[in-house]
A and B are shown apart, each in its own frame.
Chain A
């Protein structure tokens, strides 16, 4: 009963900062998505609140939605790597592993197998959530091989098309022609086809999206997690712009995300038949939490 590790000991409840008490009393732990789902953000104690990311950051927004969408936050471990995302992810009330550069999917492979070994009858959700550099450049072989090995966890790539945290260098996911640090005359080759690679490597559920629609975004995240529990590796390729390196005025960040949704981040959902059947089973009506 892992929720227990979230419950303050009776004697010390009054000595804990309110913050921690509220996480259980008003937070999403042990509660149903209908009460504390992503669409209800603002009405319950969130897993991540204050964070050191830039003002108006679309990635920070997505990370808030991501944590609100978790079906089982008390049994979830997130794994990230160097990059902007971890600044907010590390502030969440969910265990977070910050390993070495780009090693998130290798760590997750070990972690997932160890969980399945230790807790064969329980769902422990492992989610890697890292940037385009960590997933597709430095961590590429570990990302791909975890998929090829059919490791059952969810991979989320926060694609801002640039190395944001290190100051705006070209990444494999930058657009061809983009003028960035380390591509002073424009990037010479195309953006890597991440979702195609994922499908080729055997991911059973792959979505490319710009997360403009909270409800849909939350649903996709949950589908990816459920499919990883039962079927195989899942991958979400999410547009999370860098308003600093791409000089997007804060007020235009949302519009930019919508524009991307019309071109290179057009919503695209791929699933195997097995996943389709699973989703059919889990979502008989509108967005209903799976029985654990």
Chain B
């Protein structure tokens, strides 16, 4: 089959998939390499990528990271079930969309303003975007296609993404579970042995000890946060 949208890197200035003539799939269909296909076909190819490429990773976005809607609990359960069936799978969240100063910890998160920091640092060759708002998902997917060799999968609650190698639209918890079943089937076909395992937790810095924290912990900057009447600290910088 022809591949309008293929694994990158496509280089310095990517052409957007819609401008190459890729259109979103209609309800009930998926997109695979920019072509409209049966959902199952797209799911199978996506599963194969997750099972055969290095460092498969799920990037959950704000819409599933926070408990803002009734369906979040079920959907997150389904995502974790899926993750547990993918050997060596990791979960790296996209918790917000702003450019983050001074720099993100690429092992702890992915940021739409520079997604390749995370993709390249962790050598991620296959990934799923889920729960990311469409605008930011599109930006990230295109930048990844531009600068990395990563098979991108979009599991979208709305209409899907032209930019992903595989795109599934109108995704609910049941669709994530359906994808999981297909993934298990493909895994068995490929003869990969696996016992369900949860991905490791976020490796970001350990909790600060908030209980005994005091301005003194801020050292030379303490006057900037706690000035007392009449105090004039001169011994800084």
In the complex, how many residue pairs between chain A and chain B have their CB atoms under 8 Å apart?
120
Other-chain residue from A4, A17, A52 in contact with B204 (beta carbon distance below 8 A): A17
On B, residues with C-beta under 8 Å from A are: 60, 64-68, 72-73, 76-77, 79-80, 91-93, 95, 98-102, 105, 108-109, 199, 201-202, 204-208, 210, 213-215, 217-218, 222-227, 229, 232-234, 236-237
B225 A42 Cβ-Cβ under 8 A: yes
- Chain A residues lying within 8 Å of B224, measured Cβ to Cβ, are 56, 61, 64
B229 A213 Cβ-Cβ under 8 A: yes
Cα A15 to Cα B79 in complex, Å, equals 12
A4 in contact with B68 given A15-B93, A45-B210, A56-B237 (CB within 8 Å) = yes
- Chain B residues lying within 8 Å of A9, measured Cβ to Cβ, are 64-67, 72-73, 76
Query: Main secondary structure on chain B at its contact with chain A?
Result: loop
B201 A251 Cβ-Cβ under 8 A: no
Closest residue on chain B to residue A57 by CB atoms: B224
Other-chain residue from B67, B79, B214 in contact with A42 (beta carbon distance below 8 A): B214
- Chain B residues lying within 8 Å of A14, measured Cβ to Cβ, are 201-202
B202 A16 Cβ-Cβ under 8 A: yes
B226 A22 Cβ-Cβ under 8 A: no
Closest residue on chain A to residue B101 by CB atoms: A52
Other-chain residue from A10, A16, A18, A41 in contact with B225 (beta carbon distance below 8 A): A41
B77 A42 Cβ-Cβ under 8 A: no
5 examples of A-B residue contacts, CB within 8 angstroms:
A4-B67, A12-B93, A64-B225, A90-B99, A91-B101
- Chain B residues lying within 8 Å of A7, measured Cβ to Cβ, are 66-67
Cα A14 to Cα B76 in complex, Å, equals 12
- Chain B residues lying within 8 Å of A90, measured Cβ to Cβ, are 98-99
Other-chain residue from B73, B80, B98, B204 in contact with A18 (beta carbon distance below 8 A): B204
Cα A10 to Cα B224 in complex, Å, equals 36
B95 A17 Cβ-Cβ under 8 A: yes
Not counting A12-B60, A17-B204, a sample of 8 additional A-B residue pairs whose C-beta atoms are within 8 angstroms of each other reads A9-B66, A10-B76, A42-B213, A43-B213, A44-B210, A90-B98, A91-B98, A91-B101
Closest residue on chain B to residue A249 by CB atoms: B237
Closest residue on chain A to residue B216 by CB atoms: A42
* Range class of the A interface residue count: 35 or more
* Smallest beta-carbon distance B18→chain A, Å: 27
A254 in contact with B102 given A9-B66, A18-B202, A18-B205 (CB within 8 Å) = no
- Chain A residues lying within 8 Å of B77, measured Cβ to Cβ, are 11
Q: Flag whether A169 is at the interface (Cβ < 8 A).
A: no
The 10 closest A-B CB pairs, nearest first, are A11-B76, A17-B204, A5-B68, A14-B201, A17-B108, A42-B215, A9-B67, A26-B210, A15-B91, A41-B225
Cα A8 to Cα B91 in complex, Å, equals 15
Closest residue on chain B to residue A1 by CB atoms: B68
- Chain A residues lying within 8 Å of B108, measured Cβ to Cβ, are 17
- Chain B residues lying within 8 Å of A290, measured Cβ to Cβ, are none
A91 B100 Cβ-Cβ under 8 A: yes
Q: Flag whether A122 is at the interface (Cβ < 8 A).
A: no
Point out which of B67, B100, B218, B233 has the most chain A C-beta atoms below 10 A from its C-beta. B67
- Chain A residues lying within 8 Å of B93, measured Cβ to Cβ, are 12, 15-17
- Chain B residues lying within 8 Å of A250, measured Cβ to Cβ, are 236-237
- Chain B residues lying within 8 Å of A8, measured Cβ to Cβ, are 65-67
A251 B236 Cβ-Cβ under 8 A: yes
A22 in contact with B225 given A7-B66, A16-B202, A17-B105 (CB within 8 Å) = no
